[in-house]
Structure 1
Amino acid sequence: MEYRNVGGVEVSQLCLGTMMFGTKVDERTSFDILDRFVEAGGTFVDTANCYQFWEGDGQGHESEELLGRWLRGRGLASGVGRDRVVVATKVGARPITGPGRGDFPENREGLSADIIRQQIEVSLRRLGLDHVDLYYSHHEDRSVPLEETVGAFGEIVQAGKAKAIGVSNEPAWRVERARQLAAHSGLPSYTWVQQRHTYLQPRPGFHDEFMPILGEELLDYVRSEPELTLVAYSPLLGGAYSGRSDRPIPLPYAHPASAGRLAALEEVATELDASPNQVVLAWMLAGTPSVLPLFSASSVAQLEESLGALELKLSEEQLARLDQG
């Protein structure tokens, strides 16, 4: 496992998402996955204060609480063990009217200063930590002045409750504006950007305001700002690259132009004796800028497959073929 240092926070080049832990993935399996990830050298885990309120009887606190139990049980919540795991969580998408799904996302908590200050305390209690390593704004909230959100996140870092801050699901101009505001006020600034991204490209004209797919504008912005690190969520499309009939290509990517990219992906995977999932992760890591994949797993076997991507070495010709597919 290789590592990156971003703003004083060193992380493994793969990030394990724990969204399903405590709901779709039971506690024992979740602990096994986390144990194996750390054993393999993984240090970076990702959660949020709303995971997964939409799953069955989920309330939104399951993932953070399970991760907290694992951290405490493994001696990683305090003392010398605390620095062995980098914990990221998020604020802004938790429903304020309970776990009901009917009026989401309109009923989400948003990014007011009061919500940010309150929810960092709640997340720290669930996780059993005195600080998180990375605190993200989860979704864009234009109902709150950006100055207010930036100020509150800066306070969180200054108070020692987070080492670094990041932004997710926002357009490039908003990220730049937030960073300008922070610099003007002498506040800590965003050093992480998390966005939906995978090997397949969405159909022309596709737009999702709530969960935007990484576009060239944001990619170019991160490429030009060396202090920013880009994290890609949903890189494996929930298993769609496996070709299983019960894991179809999601609608944004199900269009004729995807056929060529899928063919190139399959060719390279065959040449490397690897799975398409592994090639997707390796392709992200080898790009410019190098994108840090945030993947998940519902079994140790799935985790092992993703870890295998670290062994792949894509040639320049293979990278070019994948890019042109």
Structure 2
Amino acid sequence: MKHRKLGASGLVTSALGLGCMGMSEFYGHTDDADALRTLARALELGVTHVDSADTYGHGHNETLLGRFVAQGGAARRQQVILATKFGIVRVAGQYERHIDNSPAYIREACEASLRRLGVDHIDLYYCHRRDPAVPIEEVVGAMGELVQAGKVRAIGLSEVSVETLRRAHAVFPIAAMQSEYSLWSREPETGMLAACAELGVAFVAYSPLGRAFLTGTVDVGQLADNDFRKNNPRFVGEAQAANQRLVASLTAFAADRGLSNSQVALAWMLNKHAHVVPIPGTRRIAYLESNVSSVDIVLTPSEIEQLDRLFDPLAVAGARYPDAGLLGIEAG
């Protein structure tokens, strides 16, 4: 497995991480035993970066990762980079949320995450969503205090603007910036990726496979009732049909090279940016193994340009979240 640095934090992560949200919520049925087996296989393959948040399953996801780490003892804890987040507050059973960035809440949320994870420190701690009523300097100041107290090793931000990133980085070093990025979500290319490279901040890309839509394996009509994609604007109606045509072009591109859609989509990102760490989520070992193989796939500059053209942002239909999911996301 190749590796990449998380800013100037001293943390070195696998070039590909594992997003763990779907192991607890949002994507239909979950099974802890299956999730633990997938996590163990990921570590065998060299995937050391696992990504969670306190809101995933209302704490269940962190507890699950805590079980995984505990099963391997001190040796496993040293191998794994635990990334988690605070800031999204939800009522159990509801998608709607509010954002809390107050320093008091940050400290409280960190202690709760440490308890659920069963560890004495979090490797990478993110502000999950931004409350504009709280100055980013106060947010990062409180997060920096957690680093100084030894409860957190490095801090990150998620879905903020370039301006916010710069202001935050001036207060305390930001190790990672996490936002959605994929062939069909190209917003970070308008300035954020360049800013991260300039500042020495790693960019962690969530949903790099478009919530599995880009894989070409999703039958929208067969999604479970509790799968949030049933209400995602890109998965329904005319937008779904338009986006399916884009995926068909990706399928043809991949087939010509003897690859899967997911391998091409991840290799596109890894070849294009040396400071980007994709964190595709999966609960299945077969998909995990396929994703990991993308790390060694080489695409030529002309192939990357071809994929860029195939997924022109103007051709992608639908917003990436329903309105409730856009709360706390900064543009620019």
TM-score calculated relative to the size of structure 1: 0.83
SS at match of 2:133: coil
Residues 197-208 of structure 1 correspond to what in structure 2 (within 5 A)? 197-201=181-185
Q: Does 1:214 align with 2:219?
A: no
Partner in structure 2 of residue 205 of structure 1: none
Q: Pick which of 21-30 and 163-172 moved more.
A: 21-30
Once the two structures are TM-superposed, the CA of residue 38 in structure 1 deviates from its matched residue by 0.4
Q: Which runs of 5+ in 2 are unaligned?
A: 222-228, 311-332
| Separation (CA, whole Å) in 2 of partners of 1:243 and 1:12 | 26
What's the counterpart of residue 238 of structure 1?
A: 211
Residue 206 of structure 1: aligned partner: none
Partner residue of 1:210? none
Please, what is the CA RMSD of the aligned residues?
2.4
Q: Secondary structure at the match of 2:84?
A: strand
* Structure 2 counterpart of 1:209: none
User: 1:197 is aligned with what amino acid?
Assistant: Y
Q: Are residue 69 (structure 1) and residue 70 (structure 2) matched?
A: no
Quote the residue 1:147 is aligned against: 137
Distance 1:195 1:20 in 2: 17
Report the alpha carbon displacement of residue 20 of structure 1 after superposing the two structures with TM. Answer: 2.3
Q: For residue 262 of structure 1, report the CA deviation from its aligned partner.
A: 3.9
Deviation at 1:29, TM superposition (A): 0.2
Whether contact under 8 Å (1:239, 1:247) holds in the other structure is no
Q: Is the 8 A contact 2:82 2:124 kept in 1?
A: yes
User: Structure 1 pair 22/245, CA: closer, same or farther in 2 (3 Å)?
Assistant: closer
Q: Distance in 1 between matches of 2:215 and 2:23?
A: 22
TM superposition score normalised by structure 2: 0.81
- Does the CA contact (< 8 Å) of 1:261 and 1:324 recur in 2? no
Which of the two has greater helix per residue?
2
Residues 71-93 of structure 1: per-residue CA shift (max 9 Å, x gap): 10111xx4x44221100000001
- Give yes or no for contact 1:264–1:322 (8 Å, CA) kept in 2: no
Structure 2 counterpart of 1:189, one-letter code: P
Matched ranges for 1:30-69 at <5 A: 30-52=35-57, 60-69=58-67
Measured after TM superposition, the shift of residue 247 of structure 1 is: 3.8
Distance 1:162 1:200, change over 3 A: same
The one-letter amino acid paired with 2:272 is: G
Q: Would you say the 8 A contact 1:87–1:133 is kept in 2?
A: yes
Q: C-alpha separation between the residues in 2 aligned to 1:258 and 1:245?
A: 12
For structure 1, which segment, 313-322 or 155-164, has the greater mean C-alpha deviation from structure 2 after superposition?
313-322
Residue aligned with 2:46, SS: coil
The secondary structure found in structure 1 opposite 2:191 is helix
* Aligned mates of 1:81, 1:275 — CA distance in 2: 31
Q: List, as ranges, runs of 4+ consecutive aligned residues in structure 1 with deviation greater than 6 Å.
A: none
Unpaired segments ≥5 residues, structure 1: 53-59, 183-187, 203-212
Task: Tell me, in whole angstroms, the C-alpha distance in 2 between the residues paired with 1:151 and 1:245.
Answer: 42
